[in-house]
Amino acid sequence: MSSATSSSPALDYSLLVNTTAKEAAPYFLNRMAEKAIQVYGSNKNAKLKMTLAPFPLTKAEATSDNDAAVSGIIIVFYLGVGTSFIPALITNFIVKEKETNIKH
């Protein structure tokens, strides 16, 4: 916290937050505001209550996630099956060559 004059209290601070935790920024902003009220306000035991709840998913968001996951699984399955046949055919040709001792 920076020093503030008695005529116009001002508070300057930098909030450095780990962005992988989406609840971190509002939580620490709440804690900083609570501390400012305690330091500069008349009530030294003031507490701020924070409620953090996400918005519900829309109908489009709820169905699009499932559609994307299913189509992704199908694409991976087809690519996996498709790419497994090419090496199998090549190794079959090489083994047949060694077995019959034929040179190309």
Buried b (16+ CB within 10 A) or exposed e, 32-42: eeeebeeeeee
Cα 17 from Cα 15, distance rounded (Å): 6
Examine the domain organization and report whether 71 and 104 are in the same domain. yes
Examine the domain organization and report whether 65 and 104 are in the same domain. yes
pLDDT reading at 87 higher than 70? yes
Number of structural domains the chain divides into: 2
Examine the domain organization and report whether 6 and 34 are in the same domain. yes
Q: For 9-18, how does the pLDDT look when each residue is reduced to its tens digit (9 = 90+)?
A: 677 888 887 7
pLDDT at residue 1, as a whole number: 46
Examine the domain organization and report whether 68 and 44 are in the same domain. no
Stronger pLDDT, 100 or 65, i.e. the higher one = 100
Check: pTM over 0.85? Answer yes or no.
Answer: no
